[in-house]
């Protein structure tokens, strides 16, 4: 084989390229191969670097809502602000493990770590939760929050404010008070330097009214002809001494006339501030011995109440109807129009409801009271308890309720009326009309008030009524209706 001649050019000699080689042969020389290896290696290293970068960029992502540092206030509850995690669009939020606790009752920094793994790639993020005290203390005034009034010619007592801080607690003793140009300035710092300044205008003036307390009850009950004397009282004022408080008493009370009167006690301090206390004086009817009060419960009812009203009209006798929420409105209107008294017997007359609680009783009473007021234009203050105040059935639903109710209705201005003569007309047809009449007439007395219990929903009652009225008239009795000035007739409370 003929030895090849080197090409004169050095470059070609280095690569072992001969001048007589065709281009393809030139490429296959070992030098050329070496050159190729270098280039390949360079590409390989570059590729490796790109892959590493790609891996770094391609870790799962965690994004913290609210940022990587957040502050919460001392003792406020820490609530995770939320986060999202993803890997190339795939939601990994539910795979994130959250670790770390925040004790908000201790100031400090608390790390919370969030970690997620996906196909061997792991990402961790940390959030710092700072528990801080940045809340300002609060200054609160006991009264007069906008302006401070000090009694004329006296000193400020520094006792009408409190300062409280969420971290330090009561810091009232740290409050600095200064009077500057008609203003009182209150400054306080908590132990973290949070500062509060409050100002209020200061006036040397008495704006508070005196207090007046009666030694007698605010409602006084008298009988016609009784003596009435004003209550003694106690007065006090923030600035004026007792002897400098002027009290005047006004309002007419005529004890010779049945009615309700008001006596006003007016106290005035040196600065002219005024307090008014009203005492109610109720002058009651005298006890009418030998009077018969006919009372009808449970109505009204068509077919019985109307006939009873007819008889009362014919006989010119006034009576009292303790109504429920049953029956036609017209009969209540008519009874009122014809001069009878309308009292309250409860709306439902359901023992298990009205006697199961105080609230139930008064809710039910309000219902029937509203009905009567709507129909008559007058608020009735007369009550008859279903079963009477002496009933024992209420014990089953609420022990002690009658003891409470009998006092409470009086406190609320009502008067309640039991009975001392029972017609026994409610006992399920046990008695005839004649027997009902004699149940009443045999119990009447000239030596006392006769409060007669009847029921206008019973057929026999209307038949007995005329006999009772006839007997009463023939035996020197008179008939009357109950008014708010009629003395209460009460039985012994048994529950």
Catalytic residues: 297, 455
Q: Classify residue 244 by its DSSP letter.
A: G
Q: What is the DSSP string of 281-317?
A: EEEEPPP-TTEEEEEEES---TTTHHHHHHHHHHHT-
The CA-based dihedral angle spanning residues 475, 481, 484, 486, taken in that order and rounded to the nearest 10 degrees: 0
Site string for Zn ion, 453-482 (x = CB under 5 A): ------------------------------
Minimum CB separation of residue 426 from Zn ion in Å reads 7
Q: Judged by CB, which is closer to Zn ion: 46, or 393?
A: 393
Minimum CB separation of residue 410 from Zn ion in Å reads 20
- Span interacting with Zn ion, options 71-79, 237-245, 381-389, 429-437, rule CB under 5 A: 381-389
- Span interacting with Zn ion, options 156-164, 214-222, 309-317, 383-391, rule CB under 5 A: 383-391
Cβ atoms within 10 Å of 299's Cβ, excluding its own: 26
Site string for Zn ion, 280-299 (x = CB under 5 A): -----------------xx-
Q: What interhelical angle do 358-376 and 329-337 show, nearest 10?
A: 70
Longest dimension (CA), the chain: 175
- The size of the chain, in residues, is 495
Question: CB within 8 A of 450, min separation 6: which ones?
Answer: 290, 291, 292, 293, 420, 421, 443, 444, 477
Q: Judged by CB, which is closer to Zn ion: 190, or 298?
A: 298
Q: Judged by CB, which is closer to Zn ion: 235, or 344?
A: 344
Size of interface with Zn ion, in residues (CB under 5 A): 3
DSSP three-state, residue 405: helix
Minimum CB separation of residue 322 from Zn ion in Å reads 7
Minimum CB separation of residue 232 from Zn ion in Å reads 44
- Span interacting with Zn ion, options 81-89, 189-197, 378-386, 400-408, rule CB under 5 A: 378-386
Q: Judged by CB, which is closer to Zn ion: 156, or 351?
A: 351
First and final C-alpha spacing in the chain: 141
Minimum CB separation of residue 387 from Zn ion in Å reads 7
**Structural tokens at position 257:** 């006339």
Q: Is 389 exposed, middle or buried, given 0-12, 13-18 or 19+ CB atoms closer than 10 A?
A: buried
Per CB under 5 A, the list member of 60, 300, 343, 386 interacting with Zn ion is 386
Q: Judged by CB, which is closer to Zn ion: 343, or 386?
A: 386
In the region spanning residues 294 to 333, those forming contacts with Zn ion, defined by CB under 5 A, are 297-298
- The residues of the shown chain that bind Zn ion, judged by CB under 5 A, are 297-298, 386
């Amino acid at each position: 084989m003929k030895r090849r001649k080197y090409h004169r050019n050095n470059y070609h000699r280095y690569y072992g390229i001969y001048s007589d080689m065709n281009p393809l042969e030139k490429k296959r020389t070992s030098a050329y191969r070496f050159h190729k290896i270098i280039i390949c290696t360079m590409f390989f290293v570059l590729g490796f670097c790109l892959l590493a970068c790609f891996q770094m960029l391609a870790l799962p992502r965690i994004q913290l809502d609210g940022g990587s540092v957040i502050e919460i206030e001392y003792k406020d509850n820490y609530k995770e602000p939320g986060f999202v995690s993803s890997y190339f669009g795939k939601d990994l939020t539910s795979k994130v493990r959250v670790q770390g606790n925040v004790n908000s009752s201790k100031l400090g920094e608390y790390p919370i770590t969030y970690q997620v793994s996906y196909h061997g790639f792991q990402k961790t993020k940390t959030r710092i939760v700072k528990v801080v005290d940045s809340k300002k203390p609060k200054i609160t005034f006991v009264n007069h929050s906008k302006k401070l009034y000090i009694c004329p010619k006296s000193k400020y007592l520094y006792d009408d404010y409190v300062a409280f801080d969420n971290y330090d607690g009561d810091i009232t003793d740290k409050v600095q008070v200064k009077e500057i140009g008609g203003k009182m300035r209150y400054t306080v710092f908590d132990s973290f330097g949070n500062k509060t300044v409050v100002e209020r205008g200061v006036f040397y003036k008495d704006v508070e009214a005196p207090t007046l307390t009666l030694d007698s009850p605010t409602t006084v009950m008298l009988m016609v002809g009784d003596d009435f004397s004003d209550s003694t009282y106690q007065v006090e004022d923030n600035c004026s001494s007792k002897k400098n408080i002027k009290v005047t008493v006004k309002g007419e009370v005529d004890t010779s006339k049945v009615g309700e009167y008001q006596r006003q006690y007016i106290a005035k301090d040196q600065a002219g501030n005024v307090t008014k206390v009203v005492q109610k004086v109720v002058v009651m009817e005298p006890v009418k011995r030998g009077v018969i009060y006919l009372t009808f419960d449970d109505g009204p009812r068509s077919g019985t109440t109307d006939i009873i009203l007819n008889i009362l009209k014919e006989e010119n006798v006034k009576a009292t109807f303790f109504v429920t929420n049953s029956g036609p409105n017209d009969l209540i209107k008519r009874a009122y129009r014809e001069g009878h008294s309308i009292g309250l017997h409860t709306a439902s007359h359901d023992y298990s409801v009205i006697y199961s609680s105080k609230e139930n009783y008064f809710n039910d009473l309000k219902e029937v009271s509203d009905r009567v007021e709507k129909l008559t234009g007058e608020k009735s203050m007369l009550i008859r308890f279903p079963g009477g105040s002496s009933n024992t059935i209420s014990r089953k639903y609420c022990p002690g309720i009658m003891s409470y109710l009998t006092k409470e209705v009086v406190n609320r201005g009502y008067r309640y009326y039991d009975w001392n003569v029972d017609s026994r007309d409610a006992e399920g047809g046990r008695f005839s009309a004649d027997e009902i009449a004699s149940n009443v007439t045999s119990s009447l007395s000239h030596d006392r008030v006769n409060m007669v219990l009847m029921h206008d929903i019973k057929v026999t009652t209307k038949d007995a009524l005329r006999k009772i009225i006839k007997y009463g008239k023939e035996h020197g009795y008179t008939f009357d209706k109950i008014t708010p000035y009629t003395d209460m007739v009460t039985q012994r409370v048994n529950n």
